[in-house]
């Protein structure tokens, strides 16, 4: 199977192709391109006789300080305004490459080849780049979509289990937010982690078509696209407090469960809608596939999680901004008063959620 579609953006449309083997075919056709690659692929590219600039996929590299070295290296390789950048890697390489592509000689065209499941099902479309500044994650960035996204599901075969779970959780979150059809289709693919590449192609396509709706209707994150932050305020707090030992998608899954526990803890409504319960059950099954996080969660400092929760840039000065669910089971943006009672309920929600997965 192969699939392709276009994503509309303010800077023009770009194509997305999902096909096993597409990356190697593209490599053979390429000339005048500078490749920025996750160092994980150094042996594979060397074997294919392709030279590239290799980058360790760590959060430190997503920084203003790390950029000049990469930029200078591109210049040494002769990159000029007509050079096309090709980025091969997960979200870290994507963020670095999109950022550099947007500023190098005031902007280069670039092609993105996502290699983590999370990047394949989620971050590869949307056009955002995010760079960390000091201890602030994703504080600065640009909108600079690639000219094409080439998704080769075969590249996902080498991913460890936590990376697979991480991607699947972002995918189910997007599909849940999009609505019943996308959500049911995702669950009907029985997204087992050992899925063959055909199933994987369908899971990726379903998730990206759902995300396409959000980014086309709200490219700059003002309304509908904000719903995709479901689970992220708690999730980023858990991810950060664990010093990234809990991978992003798994932290988001835990974050969604925290948001639901917070919702349940408030006396407004005692029962979550059936589709929300299906989501919670599914997330629980996914998170339990990674028992290694138990020790990390047991050591997590709840107060630090709460401090990080409160420092989220989406909150206002008087109110927290949270994505919760309404009585129909749809995600909604809610503003919640910052007061001692609410903070205690938030802490309780994090505690009851994490304790289920901690040793």
Ligand X SMILES: NC(=O)c1ccc[n+]([C@@H]2O[C@H](COP(=O)([O-])OP(=O)(O)OC[C@H]3O[C@@H](n4cnc5c(N)ncnc54)[C@H](O)[C@@H]3O)[C@@H](O)[C@H]2O)c1
Contacts to ligand X by CB under 6 A: 38, 40, 57, 59, 62, 89-95, 115-116, 118-119, 122-123, 126, 128-130, 138, 155-156, 158-159, 163, 166, 248
Long-range contacts of 157-160 (CB under 8 A, 24+ apart): 157/197, 158/40, 159/116, 159/117
- Please identify, using beta-carbon distances, which residue of 159 and 203 lies nearer to ligand X: 159
We find the least distance from the C-beta atom of residue 92 to ligand X, in angstroms, to be 4
Residue nearest to ligand X (CB): 91
- Please identify, using beta-carbon distances, which residue of 149 and 155 lies nearer to ligand X: 155
We find the least distance from the C-beta atom of residue 160 to ligand X, in angstroms, to be 7
- Please identify, using beta-carbon distances, which residue of 20 and 115 lies nearer to ligand X: 115
We find the least distance from the C-beta atom of residue 123 to ligand X, in angstroms, to be 3
We find the least distance from the C-beta atom of residue 116 to ligand X, in angstroms, to be 3
State the Cα–Cα distance between residues 180 and 172, nearest whole angstrom: 11
- Please identify, using beta-carbon distances, which residue of 158 and 188 lies nearer to ligand X: 158
We find the least distance from the C-beta atom of residue 317 to ligand X, in angstroms, to be 25
DSSP helix/strand/coil, 128: strand
Taking Cα atoms as reference points, which of 283, 323, 251, 322 lies closest to residue 172?
A: 283
Which residues does 60 contact at the CB level (< 8 Å), separation at least 6?
66, 132
- Please identify, using beta-carbon distances, which residue of 59 and 345 lies nearer to ligand X: 59
State the Cα–Cα distance between residues 285 and 267, nearest whole angstrom: 27
**Do residues 336 and 319 touch, judged by C-beta distance below 8 A?**
yes
Dihedral through CA 167, CA 169, CA 175, CA 177, nearest 10?
-130
């Amino acid at each position: 199977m192969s699939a392709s579609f276009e994503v509309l953006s303010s800077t023009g449309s770009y194509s997305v192709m999902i096909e096993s083997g597409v990356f190697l075919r593209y490599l053979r056709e390429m000339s005048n391109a500078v490749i920025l690659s996750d160092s994980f692929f150094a042996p594979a590219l060397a074997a294919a006789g392709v030279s590239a600039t290799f980058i360790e996929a760590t959060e430190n590299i997503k920084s203003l300080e790390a950029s000049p070295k990469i930029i200078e290296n591109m210049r040494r390789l002769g990159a000029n305004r007509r050079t096309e950048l090709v980025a091969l890697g997960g979200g870290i390489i994507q963020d670095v490459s999109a950022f550099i592509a947007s500023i190098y000689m005031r902007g280069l065209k670039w092609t993105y080849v996502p290699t983590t499941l999370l990047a394949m099902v989620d971050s590869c479309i949307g056009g955002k780049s995010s760079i960390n500044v000091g201890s602030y994650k994703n504080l600065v960035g640009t909108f600079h979509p690639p000219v094409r996204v080439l998704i080769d599901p075969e590249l996902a075969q080498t991913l460890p289990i936590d990376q697979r779970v991480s991607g699947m959780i972002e995918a189910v979150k997007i599909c849940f937010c999009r609505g019943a059809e996308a959500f049911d289709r995702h669950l009907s693919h029985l997204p087992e982690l050992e899925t063959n590449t055909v199933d994987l192609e369908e899971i990726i396509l379903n998730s990206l078509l759902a995300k396409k709706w959000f980014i086309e209707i709200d490219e700059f994150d003002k309304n509908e696209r904000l719903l995709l932050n479901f689970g992220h305020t708690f999730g980023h707090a858990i991810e950060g407090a664990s010093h990234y030992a809990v991978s992003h998608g798994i932290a988001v899954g835990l974050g969604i469960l925290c948001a639901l526990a917070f919702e349940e803890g408030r006396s407004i409504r005692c029962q979550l809608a059936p589709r929300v319960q299906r989501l919670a059950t599914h997330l629980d099954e996914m998170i339990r596939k990674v028992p290694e996080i138990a020790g990390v969660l047991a050591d997590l400092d709840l107060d630090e999680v709460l401090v990080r929760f409160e420092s989220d840039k989406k909150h206002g000065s008087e109110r927290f901004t949270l994505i919760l669910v309404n009585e129909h089971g749809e995600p909604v943006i809610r503003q919640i008063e910052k007061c001692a009672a609410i903070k205690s309920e938030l802490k309780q929600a994090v505690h009851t959620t994490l304790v289920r997965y901690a040793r």
